[in-house]
Every structure is written in C-alpha cells, then in structure tokens.
A = this chain, B = another copy of it.
Amino acid sequence: MADIKYEITETIGVLAESNKGWYKELNLISWNDRAPKYDIRDWSPDHEKMGKGVTLSREELIELKKLLNSMDL
C-alpha cells in the first residue's frame, strides 16, 4: 500500500470491531488526491494499516441503502 496516497476526509461510522482490534468502517476517502468516495474497509486502530474493502460512489451507496431497507434484517 506504500504507493497509494489516501486521506480520510470523513469518518462516517464503525460497523464492527474485529477480534484483533481492527475496525470495519464506513468512511469518505480521497485516493491519490482524487475526489473522495465512500469506502467500507477494515482499519487498524490508528488508521495506519488497511484491509481489503470496497469503494462506492454516492449513487451506489443509495442503491445499497434501498436494498438494505428492502431486506428483512
């Protein structure tokens, strides 16, 4: 990850804490100085290390919200 520049422009919320103390978070992140996108990903407590995740546009997040609200969770 050393050559990927990122800036967490907004921390929206935490979905869970893992056994090893990492957090699964929804954030707004700017990758390589581009416009920030929504991002669901595991992070170490200091946000220095990241796990795999997905990046989502606002439109994708709206679709996801619709799907979740249509589910019997």
Contact = CB atoms under 8 A, between A and B. Distances in A.
Identical chains bound together, number: 2
A54 B24 CA distance: 9
A67 to B, nearest CB: 4
Interface bin, chain A = 20 to 34
A24 B52 CA distance: 15
A34 B69 CA distance: 26
A45 to B, nearest CB: 18
Given A40-B54, A53-B52, A64 B15 contact: yes
A4 interface: no
A26 B67 CA distance: 8
Interface string A15-27: 1100000001010
